[in-house]
Structure 1
Amino acid sequence: MTPLSVAASPARASLIANSHLRCEALGIDPVRGADEALAGRPELALALQRNERLCSHAAPVMEMLFEQIVDSQSMVLLTDAAGTVLHAIGDSAFLSRAARVTLQPGANWSEAAQGTNAIGTALIEEVPTLIHADEHYVRSNRFLTCSAAPILDPRGNILGVLDVSGDQRGYHQHTMALVKMSARMIENHWLADDHRQALRLHFHPRPEFIGTLVEGIVAVSPDGRILGANRGALELTGLSGAALRAHTLSTLMGVEIGALVDRFRHPLGQPLAVTLPDGRRFHLQPRFNWPVWTASSLASAATERSADATSSALPTPLDRADLDSPVADLPSRPAPRTAPSQAPGLQALHSGDPQIATVVDKIRRVMDRDIPILLLGETGTGKEVFARAIHQDSRRARQPFVAVNCASIPETLIEAELFGYEEGAFTGARRRGAVGKIVQAHGGTLFLDEIGDMPLSLQAHLLRVLQERQVMPLGGSRSIPVDVSVVCATHRNLREMIQAQTFREDLYYRLNGLALKLPPLRERSDLPTLVERLLGQLAPENTPRLSGPVRRLFQHCSWPGNVRQLHNVLRTACVMAGPGQEVLPEHLPDDFVEEARQAMQAAGQRLIAAEEPQIASSGITPPSVPLHALAHQTIRQAVAQCDGNISLAARRLGVSRNTVYRALRNTSD
């Protein structure tokens, strides 16, 4: 094919000019370059290890791409997200020429290292980039023409760059198109691997293009949430990755997942015509990678997902799909329980309670300083919600959040679940082994819930991993480097467990960088705010309202299940009362009403018994009224006698300030 001249469009000319300005600002010498040293074998081996999954997906695509450009004085390169060349294949003669300018594995081709070049500029601009001949900033690189395309994961993070570099005299216009299509192929493989157990929807305005590299692909969870998308989906819908993941299948394409499953039970089902909210029309074809769900299982999955999104801290089940993953899946793999893009940060946890405000303030002071956080508190107080908020506000927010409930995984499986295992490591092991949760959290946050339930025999192994920042899978022969921020939680008293020699003291001090106690719901002063928020989440369009009797039941309940119990009670109330209606006691679960009323009466009896000496000495004579009303009147009289000083009244009565506040709020009802 005859070589073609390269014409710079205004957009490309601007991109190159901006790159040259950056190089000047960095002080890069156009004659000598930046004198970047070639990485040694250990550094290159570490880079390859960290990007093993990327290399495994890219290698066959690179071979196919090279077949298209063979004998053209060119080479195909793969770099990581920092611009380090991981792998290269090409014509032997040209590989020798390229090595003279260190265009070879182990070299860094970021802009800071090599000036304006397709790889480095593509990493900064995050778009496919062509740099031809004299457009290179460093003179020694001007014999090259380079076409590079960034490789993105399903959440839009850059994994690396695919590049074709060759003699500038042999440039062909079709090279950039080949590179872009090859990068998309790698991205599609990555998406399919991330969501092997999910429903993948393939779509395009023209049905004949479904199954080609220009199609859009979205991965959908059993309850219809958008989990990830390829670059084609972003271009076809005109949405960013975050905006797309904020949708459900219903809100995006106007179709319920149950109806979709029913329609495509037959493998020869024709593509379905769908319309987006902006009027764009597509033809849709699903790919099922698991047994077809029944309608009841879909409804159950949707209910469980809804509860998990709003409750405080539901137990984390053992994700069997992860045990199908090979140990070769490297640390950059997004975790199955990655926090959704709309997950609330710490600011959203402020609800007027001073204890919560203090906890949030302490967290902000240590965030992103490599200080482990230990969350203490009763079951259901919201420890996982806090852990996700910490991750969301940290510098690691775009990386995986991996939650492991140490109490919900059988003791015989927890070691394999945490550390992963190689093929044949034990009887029943998966054929290709499995990646552990710690490796999956690489770059992000590892949340170890109920750490007090971790078997003593594994605590030493975990301590070693946290100290050395390396994981050795079961049956493995090499360690995998990991970089994780650790947040732990427990409802147990770890100090007592240390005394009983059921929890290691050295692990306790490794995890206890900052210990924070989350107050139980009965001790918080923000119950009305929490109720409003949860009602708004459960019924955002026609939010029910609580009647006076229900509010009083809520105020006097001891809430043994804490925020989780509150969420479940409100969810039942919303369904029983109906949209926008007033919630009455008969709309609440019978066991909750009985428990709340008994607690109300018992609290009144305890309060009167505790107050009799103080009341007698203070001259307060309560009238003959029902027991709970008597307690409230006694508290109000004490507050009045103390001129409104809540703390003084609480001390005189021998009760907590929250008890006084609840009594005063009940009066206002």
Structure 2
Amino acid sequence: MVDTHRALATSARTWTTPAVLPVPQQPARTELIEQWHQRCSALGLTRIERPDFEPLTRCDLTVARERNQRLFTHAAPVMEMLFEQIVNTESMIVLADVTGTILHSVGDDRFLQRADKVALTPGVNWAEHSKGTNAIGTALFEETPTVVHGGEHFIHANHFLTCSAAPIFDPRGNMLGVLDVTGDQRSYHQHTMGLVRMSARMIENQWLSDDYGNRLRLHFHSRVEFIGTLLEGIIVVGADGKILGANRSALDQLDMSSAALRMHSLTSLFGTTASAVFDHFRTPLPVPMTLSLAGGREFHVNARFNGPQRSMVMEPGFSQAAAEVVDHRAAAGNSSRRSGALAGDTANSADGTLFSGLHYLNTGDPQIGALVQKVQRVINRDIPLLILGETGTGKELLARAVHQDSNRAKQPFVAVNCASIPESLIEAELFGYEDGAFTGARRKGAVGRIVQANGGTLFLDEIGDMPLPLQARLLRVLQERNVTPLGSLKSIPVDIAVIGATHRKLRDMIEAGSFREDLYYRLNGLVVKLPALRERCDLDVVARRILLAECPHGTPDISAPVMSLFKAYAWPGNVRQLANVLRTASVMAAGEGQIAEHHLSDDFLEDVRCLRQGREPAAPVAMPAAPPAAYAVPVHSPALPQGRAAEPIIAPARPAAMAEVAAPRTLSEAEVELIRNALAAANGNISVASKQLGISRNTIYRKLRWAK
């Protein structure tokens, strides 16, 4: 966020005030005022109306303020800073809600007393139907910044005022209220409107950041020097590439309405993808991108994303990575300030992500409570932490909480998923490389993840999937605290805390020779195991927090039958699966207030029907080492010592030639045949096949397990 004091102080140089000077030589302006006055007459108002000295009762005003608490929270500090710019000018600053009711005001004491005489005070409604033409009410009606000066006010009693007001909108284009500066008409200044508009946009931008702190945001302007100022446009991109919202500057620059912009995706608007944006900004010290509209107009663009750093590793599929980010954050109720209030307090991490510490993870389950107590004892004691647990249980969330509660909280938290990076690239990703270190390397090289984490925390997710040769090099780094990038002879000293995580049984892997014993003992200073969701007793609390994060306004309840169903279900995908189920259900139940069984996805209900019929539900995604016998055979690595068996790897049980036998007779058989062929083409790699087919690994397991 741009420095507020500096922005307000320099607004006169950066904002263009509309030509609204109240002089009779402006025929267009005179005609506009006449239209406004005719509208007031049509409402039955007269120009000699007496001021309304019957504001809302204290109780009603309290209700109105509570209803607009979020607006007030964002507006109050901006109003105070704006007041510093207009102090001693016979002026006041007013915040009104979308109905025109004044919620809050600050100003010079002497002028506040004069304003009281015309009922310009909290609790009084200043919509046009109540007070005639005035900046607050007219800005609400016209939905645009408005100046009403002196005799332009419809009611004679208000002729001593000069008012400049700007509406405040949320990222989806819904009006939230109005910010207004009112003063003695003799103190009118042409820059006042610029100050008000700038202040309104500060509030809007803060609202946008609050709503979409964990989404990809593009900050852009046609002039690169304006990026990072209040003149920049901001658009928010969803996990599927769709435009979710934007600030007013973005709408102005793109010359679109909010509704029209939300019809676009990143591809249809700028001709690019989220993956391309992430790839560009993963480079060290990236320069702004240049993106063009269909008509050829160019913009300079910076990107911001406050989610976990592993989402920056973009293989084709920003959607999946971003969805996982949201799942983890939503499961902890940590996607915004509003859910953080459940825990009592929140803190900002080094990467800008709003995040709560370990205490917030303690949701009433005894196992989680005991785990949190253990972890709290080793924080800041230079003891490595190894987190075990099934996929989706929240291992990264726990690691972030540890980082947030440690002395390293203001330094980077860098997450690396050892299973998601191709084996050929993971060494360069971790250690970095020099220019020309290998074919395809970026010019000027790249900083590795370990160096990026210097001073902070390095989270090695799925450490059990790290290639054996790389384990030796990582061990050397942990022992010597020095990193040598690929192609370089120079070592870089690093100071990092290391947290590892895996769903695998590392002791078994050590016995099999696929994981180094010395690295294991370097990582397991304290080993904790996150329980699976089916083993916890706080499912209702976790579900509620997910819904609060997904639906902050009008959070639906979960019906008793659905909650009973949830508690009886095995949740093979754990908290991540619960978050996905609730996200879909909350959308389907929009406006109904309660999630019922018919709001749940067909995929989930299929598992439930299987459970009710006494059949085994889908195998947990977390246990790929034990695939269904119907379609997998063990494959042993020739590199292992004699007599040691490797973990079975998913591989098609049938030779390719058998796929050409009889054509499938049903849709179900056709699905199974397609899945088996995809597995054969992917050499048995479930993850690759699932991406090619566009379905989850869980679905592949289920379809093949149930195949006759």
Q: What TM-score, normalized to structure 2? A: 0.49
Contact in 1 for aligned 2:311/2:321 (Cα 8 Å):
no
Contact in 2 for aligned 1:30/1:137 (Cα 8 Å):
yes
Q: Does 1:490 align with 2:616?
A: no
Alignment-mate amino acid for residue 414 of structure 1: D
Alignment-mate amino acid for residue 538 of structure 2: T
Q: Does 1:412 align with 2:519?
A: no
1:6 matched residue in structure 2: 22
2:211 matched residue in structure 1: 194
Aligned pairs (5 A) from 1:336-347: none
Alignment-mate amino acid for residue 548 of structure 2: G
**Which SS does the other structure have where 1:122 is aligned?**
helix
**Which SS does the other structure have where 1:107 is aligned?**
coil
Deviation larger for 236-245 or 128-137? 236-245
TM-aligned CA deviation for residue 437 of structure 1? 5.9
Alignment partner of 1:63 out of 51, 68, 80: 80
TM-aligned CA deviation for residue 221 of structure 1? 2.6
Does the C-alpha gap of structure 1 residues 97 and 209 become closer, same or farther in structure 2, counting only changes over 3 Å? same
Q: Give deviations 1:19-74, integer Å, cap 9, x for gaps.
A: 22222122123212584720111111111111111111111111111111111111
Q: Give deviations 1:334-366, integer Å, cap 9, x for gaps.
A: xxxxxxxxxxxxxxxxxxxxxxxxxxxxxxxxx
Contact in 2 for aligned 1:144/1:165 (Cα 8 Å):
yes
Aligned pairs (5 A) from 1:432-451: 436=548, 440-442=552-554, 446-448=555-557, 451=560
TM-aligned CA deviation for residue 261 of structure 1? 1.5
1:228 matched residue in structure 2: 245
Q: Does 1:212 align with 2:321?
A: no
Distance 1:591 1:324 in 2: 31
**Which SS does the other structure have where 1:290 is aligned?**
coil
Distance 1:22 1:439 in 2: 39
TM-aligned CA deviation for residue 125 of structure 1? 0.7
Contact in 2 for aligned 1:34/1:113 (Cα 8 Å):
no
Q: Give deviations 1:212-268, integer Å, cap 9, x for gaps.
A: 111111122344222211001111111221222222222212222222222212452
1:667 matched residue in structure 2: none
Distance 2:99 2:64 in 1: 10
Contact in 1 for aligned 2:330/2:549 (Cα 8 Å):
no
Alignment partner of 1:454 out of 563, 572, 581: 563
Distance 2:46 2:21 in 1: 28
Does the C-alpha gap of structure 1 residues 15 and 411 become closer, same or farther in structure 2, counting only changes over 3 Å? farther
Distance 1:65 1:175 in 2: 10
Alignment partner of 1:16 out of 33, 37, 43: 33
**Which SS does the other structure have where 2:269 is aligned?**
helix
Contact in 1 for aligned 2:78/2:203 (Cα 8 Å):
yes
Contact in 2 for aligned 1:130/1:148 (Cα 8 Å):
yes
TM-aligned CA deviation for residue 321 of structure 1? 6.7
TM-aligned CA deviation for residue 297 of structure 1? 5.7
Does the C-alpha gap of structure 1 residues 203 and 11 become closer, same or farther in structure 2, counting only changes over 3 Å? farther
Alignment-mate amino acid for residue 452 of structure 1: P
Contact in 1 for aligned 2:275/2:317 (Cα 8 Å):
no
Root-mean-square deviation (CA), in Å? 4.4
1:386 matched residue in structure 2: none
TM-aligned CA deviation for residue 449 of structure 1? 6.1
Contact in 1 for aligned 2:216/2:236 (Cα 8 Å):
yes
Alignment-mate amino acid for residue 279 of structure 1: G
1:654 matched residue in structure 2: none
Does the C-alpha gap of structure 1 residues 328 and 223 become closer, same or farther in structure 2, counting only changes over 3 Å? closer
Distance 2:153 2:535 in 1: 55
**Which SS does the other structure have where 1:108 is aligned?**
coil
1:394 matched residue in structure 2: none
Contact in 2 for aligned 1:52/1:328 (Cα 8 Å):
no
Contact in 2 for aligned 1:411/1:455 (Cα 8 Å):
no
Distance 1:184 1:553 in 2: 58
Distance 2:323 2:108 in 1: 55
Q: Give deviations 1:190-223, integer Å, cap 9, x for gaps.
A: 1111111112211111101111111111122344
Alignment partner of 1:148 out of 157, 161, 165: 165
Distance 1:408 1:27 in 2: 65
**Which SS does the other structure have where 1:414 is aligned?**
helix
Alignment-mate amino acid for residue 78 of structure 2: V
Contact in 2 for aligned 1:163/1:179 (Cα 8 Å):
yes
Does the C-alpha gap of structure 1 residues 121 and 184 become closer, same or farther in structure 2, counting only changes over 3 Å? same
Deviation larger for 18-27 or 177-186? 18-27
Which residues of structure 2 form unaligned runs of 5+? 1-11, 13-19, 342-532, 568-589, 600-661, 683-698
Does the C-alpha gap of structure 1 residues 38 and 285 become closer, same or farther in structure 2, counting only changes over 3 Å? same
Q: Give deviations 1:420-469, integer Å, cap 9, x for gaps.
A: 6xxxxxxxxxxxxx993697233xxx5556651326999xxxxxxxxxxx
Distance 1:61 1:491 in 2: 45
Does the C-alpha gap of structure 1 residues 296 and 437 become closer, same or farther in structure 2, counting only changes over 3 Å? closer
Q: Does 1:53 align with 2:166?
A: no
Distance 1:138 1:413 in 2: 59
Alignment-mate amino acid for residue 330 of structure 2: D
Alignment partner of 1:553 out of 663, 666, 670: 666
Overall identity of the aligned pairs, in %:
45
Aligned pairs (5 A) from 1:153-164: 153-164=170-181
2:202 matched residue in structure 1: 185
Contact in 2 for aligned 1:197/1:321 (Cα 8 Å):
no
TM-aligned CA deviation for residue 589 of structure 1? 8.7
Distance 2:109 2:594 in 1: 50
Alignment-mate amino acid for residue 253 of structure 2: L
TM-aligned CA deviation for residue 300 of structure 1? 4.6
Q: Give deviations 1:447-506, integer Å, cap 9, x for gaps.
A: 556651326999xxxxxxxxxxxxxxxxxxxxxxxx9642432169xxxxxxxxxxxxxx
Does the C-alpha gap of structure 1 residues 455 and 106 become closer, same or farther in structure 2, counting only changes over 3 Å? farther
Contact in 2 for aligned 1:52/1:329 (Cα 8 Å):
no
Alignment-mate amino acid for residue 252 of structure 2: E
**Which SS does the other structure have where 2:166 is aligned?**
strand
Contact in 1 for aligned 2:103/2:123 (Cα 8 Å):
yes
Contact in 2 for aligned 1:207/1:283 (Cα 8 Å):
yes
TM-aligned CA deviation for residue 120 of structure 1? 0.5
**Which SS does the other structure have where 1:186 is aligned?**
helix
Distance 1:595 1:272 in 2: 48
TM-aligned CA deviation for residue 118 of structure 1? 0.5
Distance 2:312 2:596 in 1: 36
Distance 2:560 2:329 in 1: 15
Q: Give deviations 1:295-348, integer Å, cap 9, x for gaps.
A: 7766455259999xxxxxxx9988247435334999xxxxxxxxxxxxxxxxxx
TM-aligned CA deviation for residue 116 of structure 1? 1.0
Distance 1:208 1:415 in 2: 47
Distance 2:292 2:214 in 1: 26
Distance 1:71 1:328 in 2: 40
2:447 matched residue in structure 1: none
**Which SS does the other structure have where 1:286 is aligned?**
strand
2:628 matched residue in structure 1: none
Aligned pairs (5 A) from 1:518-667: 553-554=666-667
**Which SS does the other structure have where 1:436 is aligned?**
helix
Q: Does 1:72 align with 2:89?
A: yes
Contact in 2 for aligned 1:203/1:210 (Cα 8 Å):
yes
Does the C-alpha gap of structure 1 residues 409 and 323 become closer, same or farther in structure 2, counting only changes over 3 Å? farther
Does the C-alpha gap of structure 1 residues 455 and 301 become closer, same or farther in structure 2, counting only changes over 3 Å? farther
**Which SS does the other structure have where 1:285 is aligned?**
strand
Does the C-alpha gap of structure 1 residues 114 and 438 become closer, same or farther in structure 2, counting only changes over 3 Å? farther
**Which SS does the other structure have where 2:164 is aligned?**
strand
Contact in 1 for aligned 2:53/2:119 (Cα 8 Å):
no
2:306 matched residue in structure 1: 289
Q: What TM-score, normalized to structure 1? A: 0.52
Does the C-alpha gap of structure 1 residues 410 and 15 become closer, same or farther in structure 2, counting only changes over 3 Å? farther
Alignment-mate amino acid for residue 90 of structure 1: G
Which residues of structure 1 form unaligned runs of 5+? 308-314, 331-406, 421-433, 459-482, 493-548, 560-564, 577-587, 599-669
Distance 1:170 1:435 in 2: 50
Question: For this pair of structures, how many residues does the alignment match?
Answer: 396
Distance 2:51 2:536 in 1: 54
Distance 1:594 1:325 in 2: 40
Contact in 2 for aligned 1:416/1:436 (Cα 8 Å):
no
